[in-house]
Structure 1
Amino acid sequence: MADIPDDELEATRNALAPTLDATAAVLPWLAKTRAPRFDKKLNTRWIEASQRLAAAWSERHTNPDAEIRPPLFALYSIALETGDADCLAFGEALAEAADQLENGETPHLVAALSAAIESLVEAEGLEHPTFPERAQHFANRLANAARLTPATAVRSPTIDRLFVDEATEHIEQMRYALAVLPPDAHALKNEAESLRLHAEQLELWGIVRAAKEFSATLNAQLDHLDQREIQDELSDRIEALASLIAAVLDY
């Protein structure tokens, strides 16, 4: 390779100098670790309490008598300890929503609680970069949902149509993932789980149950997806899900 003349090298250095200086100025800031906002032990307790609440809420879907108040108020007590306004408002909104559940749950309230509790299960807990924004968002959403009574919280045809449109896309992706050779187990799992979560938020328990049954069958047959009879069984379950989804608009 030919040597580059010294004058050209100097010109290149001069042209790059502003960029290099700017990068050198920024690097020390990027290297700094963000200082924790909360005591490490307090955050660990928050993460553990969040996990217990999420487990109790998940159990409630299969066992209506499952108690969520103890883990919820345990989380609220930690929110009080933080002294953080956003965290405290979030904790209060969760507690008020739990009280409202006993007076009569609505799809809006259950959906708000599901989304809020799901947001809590983060490895970083209180130290998650977006925790303040999330806390504010879900505190407002829970408060709005708690104001609706079973008499006023009527199912929304618009929400149902949106659900059916999105769920139908999941079904199409599942059909495609099953049709390819070999069947795409990863895509089948992801689509079924996304569908289950969405149906759960709207309390469409028949679809939730069917999606879980599909996932259970898939997990049990992962090593046999090349067999035609297994593919047929999975296909039948997909079509059963499709029928349940289409029926949502009939209510």
Structure 2
Amino acid sequence: MDTTDDDLASTRTALNPMLDATAAILPWISQTPTARFPPELNKRWQSAWAEFADTWRQHGSNDPARFRRSAMLIMSIALESADADCLGLAESLASTADHLEHKTPGNRLQAALHALCDVMLDTSDKHLPQGLEHPHLNERLRHFRDRLETALRPSGKPGERSDVLDRLFVEDAEERLAHMRESLETLPIDIYGIAEECEALIQHAEQIEMWGIYHLGRTVHHLALQLYDASEADLDRAADAIGAQLDLLQQALHAIEY
């Protein structure tokens, strides 16, 4: 079927509104978003974060004075930006600097700082503006402000235990638990070995007020004491009960955060 001039004309007429609308929005699509901050300020912001990341990665908490200088540089630029989220994160970094002058950073604080450095230096998406102009900057700043504040809060652990102390306790307890399982698998059950390891675990748990572990350990120890003079048949029947209590101990140890 041949296309006539009238057909072409009617097609053009039908398409004209769509073509006009497309032409109208093309300038908006190609237009570069208006910068929120002066380019020079954005450049200094990115340089400050590069310096901060280098300070943390190279020196960690071993040079709190250098950490503070890097944090204060970010604070000064945040003040110039007059952006509430920039200031909020800068204040959290200042609090972190105070913390590092007196205490060793816990695992959560270290993880937060490492992640912060990675995100603030991320330039993987070349199509997005970087630094202060990044479209997700404020969301990221709020996230890390909250994360740092959470990591800096005093521990809710009894006696203000340190993360290091908790880790050492868990490592020791897991080793003793492994020995108890080995004693449980011998024929006949080495009930004395279980009682001895469990008694040591109970004492350590009491010293650092790990009361959940303490009471679970007491249950295992009580079972063991009842079986001191038991026959082999009774010991075999008790093996499942002891094993179940050891499983509960294992779960409780895995739940300890440090």
1:134-184, Cα deviation, whole Å (9 max, x unpaired): 1122111211221153737678xxxxxxxxxxxxxxxxxxxxxxxxxxxxx
Query: Where do 5+ consecutive residues of structure 1 fail to align?
Result: 156-248
Does 2:168 correspond to 1:151?
A: no
TM-score (norm 1): 0.53
Q: Does 1:126 align with 2:136?
A: no
Displacement, 1:11?
A: 4.1
- Paired amino acid for 1:105: P
Identity %: 43
> Where in structure 2 are the equivalents of 1:105-120 lying within 5 Å?
105-120=105-120
Q: Cα distance, 1:115 vs. partner?
A: 1.4
Secondary structure of 1:21's counterpart equals: helix
CA distance in 1, matches of 2:98, 2:142: 20
Q: Give the counterpart letter for 1:115 in structure 2.
A: A
- Matched with 2:48 is 49
CA shift for structure 1 position 65: 4.2
Q: Secondary structure at the match of 1:80?
A: helix
1:59 maps to which residue? 58
Cα distance between partner residues in 2 of 1:100 and 1:22: 58
CA distance, structure 2, for counterparts of residue 129 and residue 18 of structure 1: 33
Q: Is the 8 A contact 1:122 1:128 kept in 2?
A: no
CA displacement at 1:116 relative to structure 2: 1.6
1:203-242 alignment runs, 5 A limit = none
Letter in 1 for 2:144: F
Shift of 1:60: 2.5
Whole-angstrom distance in 1 between the partners of 2:162 and 2:151: 11
- The 2-side partners of 1:152 and 1:13 are apart by 76
Q: Note closer, same or farther for the CA distance 1:15–1:144 as it changes in structure 2 (3 Å cut).
A: farther
Q: Deviations over 1:14-66 (max 9, x none)?
A: 443343233222212123222221122222211111111111111035x8447
Give the structure 2 partner of residue 95 of structure 1. 94
Letter in 2 for 1:76: M
Amino acid at match of 1:112: A
Q: How has the CA–CA distance of structure 1 residues 23 and 70 changed in structure 2, closer, same or farther, with 3 Å as cutoff?
A: same
Could you say what secondary structure the match of 1:34 adopts?
coil
Gaps of 5+ in 2: 124-129, 168-253
Secondary structure at 1:68 match in 2: helix
Amino acid at match of 1:20: L
Match of residue 231 from structure 1 = none
| Matches of 1:152 and 1:5, distance apart in 2 | 86
Contact 1:47-1:122 within 8 A present in 2 as well: no
Count, aligned residues: 155
Counterpart residue type for residue 49 of structure 1: A
Alpha carbons 1:100, 1:146 under 8 Å: kept = yes
| DSSP 3-state at the match of 1:37 | coil
- Whether contact under 8 Å (1:79, 1:87) holds in the other structure is yes
125, 128, 139: which is aligned to 2:145? Answer: 139
Q: Following TM superposition, by how much is the alpha carbon of 1:131 offset from its aligned partner in structure 2, in angstroms?
A: 1.2
Measure, in 2, the Cα distance between the counterparts of 1:81 and 1:128: 17
In 2: Cα distance, 1:151 partner to 1:22 partner: 66
